Homo-oligomer: A and B are copies of this chain.
Amino acid sequence: MNPTVSRFQRLLSGLVTILAVAVSSVANAGDALPSWNEGPTKKAILEFVTAVTDEKGKGYVEPAERIAVFDNDGTLWVEQPVYTQLTFALDRVKKLAPQHPEWKTQEPFKSALAGDMKGVMASGQKGLLEMVLATHTGMTAEQFAETVTTWLASARHPKFGRPYTELVYQPQLELLAYLRDHGFKTFIVSGGGIEFMRPFTERVYGIPPEQVVGSSVKTEFQMKDGKPVLVRIPKLNFVDDKAGKPVGIYEHIGRRPILAFGNSDSDMQMIEYTTGGEGRRLGLFVHHTDADREYAYDRKSHVGTLDKVLDQAAANGWIIVDMKQDWKSVFPD
């Protein structure tokens, strides 16, 4: 490269850096987490981010290592009265029923068609898995993504009457953006189906598909009508839950996160793995304590059980986020 050009370029680069820092300082003059009430939780988050981004401090973490992982159901969006993906599966059963006359007598499909949630749940893990495989496979990757997108556009939550993608937690949207503004890479690590989440995570959370880790079915590369496609096969591939979460993190991310946010005992291993590393770490759990604005549940809930975590949080330095106390608003307006 021409040396004059190169010198000019360096000069401009310097200017850009100076101005970018100025912009970022001005941005920080405001409150980056307006939906978080002042208190020990917000303070702990702000202090953690300050510590790991302070180049002169001993808690400093290189930007590349600033990996933050978030559970999805109950951590980023509502998971009551049942997981959104289960509602999707039930709606799919109804839609596909005409092609499956055998479902009229076969559980859990029979209960699903009758709208009998208890009957569906009575079929246990095995029955639920069968229903998920029957409704989530047998099509190409693109077809499934389209089915999810179409469903999310029309489905409404039974309590709030809003689309599920609007029932995401405003304080968490702010936290995700705040972390990214401070050089973090944000990931979802969920027990939910990876391909059920990917069609909306970028638009809703600013998290691209390649930063979503989840449970999955097997897929197969095939040529269909001369076109190369991936076909979803009715076989379980990976369960990204409990002890599977650190495994999913290792496979997809290949680094130990420094911040992890969950809301149930199923997230405990992920938070253990995260906070068990060297240096500054932060582990948090949403505690659903707000029956008015959202839901109140913990130890005995059939969805998002938060029990062991409540017993072990203090000893491990994990932060229990009290939805009612800590969140000024729950959903976006």
Which residues of B have CB within 8 Å of A67?
210
In the bound assembly, the distance between CA atoms of A320 and B234 in angstroms comes to: 38
In the bound assembly, the distance between CA atoms of A118 and B6 in angstroms comes to: 52
Copy total for this chain: 2
Which residues of B have CB within 8 Å of A223?
272
Which residues of B have CB within 8 Å of A27?
9
Question: Is the C-beta of A26 less than 8 angstroms from some C-beta in chain B?
Answer: yes
Which residues of B have CB within 8 Å of A26?
5, 8-9, 12
**In the complex, chain A residues 1-57 whose Cβ is within 8 Å of any chain B Cβ:** 1-2, 5-6, 8-9, 12-13, 15-16, 19-20, 22-23, 26-27, 29-31
Question: Is the C-beta of A273 less than 8 angstroms from some C-beta in chain B?
Answer: yes
Contact B254 A198 (CB under 8 A): yes
Shortest CB distance A258–B (Å)? 14
In the bound assembly, the distance between CA atoms of A187 and B208 in angstroms comes to: 14
Q: Given A221-B273, A251-B194, A30–B5 Cβ distance below 8 Å?
A: yes
Can you list 11 residue pairs at the A/B interface with Cβ under 8 Å? A2-B30, A6-B30, A8-B26, A15-B19, A19-B19, A194-B251, A195-B254, A209-B254, A219-B250, A227-B276, A228-B246
